[in-house]
Amino acid sequence: MHIDIPIQRFKYSDIMSTLLDNFAEIHRHDSSKDFRIFWDEFIKENSNTFEQEVVLLKSRGFKSDPYNAMYKSTRFYYRKFYNGSGKKKNCNKINKRPYSKFPTELIKLIDSVIEKLISMNIKQVTEQEYICNITPASCYIKFCDDYETDLYVHIGDYVRQTQSVGGEISSSIISNKLKKTFKNRFYKLQDKLKLLKI
C-alpha cells in the first residue's frame, strides 16, 4: 500500500542547494536589476542542472514555476546567510531566548489528531495507491477548534514551565510555536507514512 499526501514544502537537491548558495554568496550585494541579469546568465550556464531539478520538482508534485521559485529562494533566502565580509553567518551567535518544549502530552495529542485526520481523509485510487488531500493548515485549524480545552490545559503547563526558568512568554510566541510544532509534526508523520509498506 502506498499513501500519497501532497507535499507542501519542497526541498532542492543537494547539488542545486550548493549551486544556489554559491550564486547567492557571489551576488549578495547586487542590485535587483543586476541580480536578475546575472541570474539569467547563471541559468544558461547551468541549464542541465536546472533542467534536472525541474524534472525532480515536477515529479514530486510541484505545480508552480520552478525557475521562479529557485530565483526567489536565492534572492530572498540564501543571500541572508552571509555577513558583510562574505563569510557565512554563525547562526549560533544570535541571542535567542532559551528553548523550552511543549509538554509530551501535547505532542502526543498533536500526533494522534494528525493521524486521525489523515486516516479520515484517505481515498483509494488503485488497489495499492491511496491519496490524502489534506493540508497542514486545514488540520491545524480543525485541531485548534476541536481541542480548545486540551490546548488550554497544555498551554497553561507550558507557560508555567517557561516562566519557572525565567523565559519570556507572550500569546504571539505561543501561537507561532504551536503552529510551527504542529506543521513540523505533520511533515514528520507524512514522511513516516510515505515509507510505510503494508
Domain match, 44 and 78 both:
yes
Structural domain that includes position 87: 9-93
Note whether 128 and 63 are same-domain residues: no
Q: What does each C-alpha distance from 101 to 62, 92, 177 come to in angstroms?
A: 32, 19, 9
The pLDDT tens digits of the residues spanning 37-66 come to 999 999 999 999 989 888 888 877 778 888
- Which of the listed residues 34, 60, 93 is the one where a domain comes to its end? 93
Q: What is d(CA 23, CA 28) in angstroms, rounded to the nearest whole number?
A: 8
In this structure, the answer to whether residues 52 and 80 fall within a common structural domain is: yes
Query: End of a domain among 74, 93, 112?
Result: 93
Residue 161 is assigned to a structural domain of this protein: yes
Asked whether residue 47 falls in the same domain as residue 87, the answer is yes
The span from the CA of 53 to the CA of 70, in Å, is: 10
Task: Assess whether 87 and 144 both reside in one domain.
Answer: no
In a domain, 4, yes or no: no
Say if residue 30 is in the same domain as residue 58: yes
120 and 88 in a common domain: no
Q: Identify the three-state secondary structure at position 129.
A: strand
Same domain, 108 and 187: yes
Residue 106, pLDDT score: 93
Averaged pLDDT of the chain: 80
Q: State the pTM of this model.
A: 0.57
Q: How far is CA 76 from CA 65, 70, 137, 192, in A?
A: 16, 10, 24, 31
Pair (88, 158) in one structural domain: no
At residue 111's C-alpha, the angle toward residues 106 and 116, to 5°, is 125
pLDDT at 84 over 60: no
If asked whether residues 108 and 189 sit together in one domain, one would say yes
Q: How many domains does the chain have?
A: 2
Q: What is the pLDDT of residues 11-45, one digit of tens each?
A: 788 888 888 888 888 888 888 899 899 999 999 99
The domain boundary, picked from 69, 93, 117, lies at 93
Phi, then psi, of 62 in degrees rounded to 5: -70, 125
110 shares its domain with 189? yes
Instruction: Looking at the structure, tell me whether residues 86 and 156 fall in a common domain.
Output: no
- CA 198, CA 195: separation in Å to the nearest integer? 10
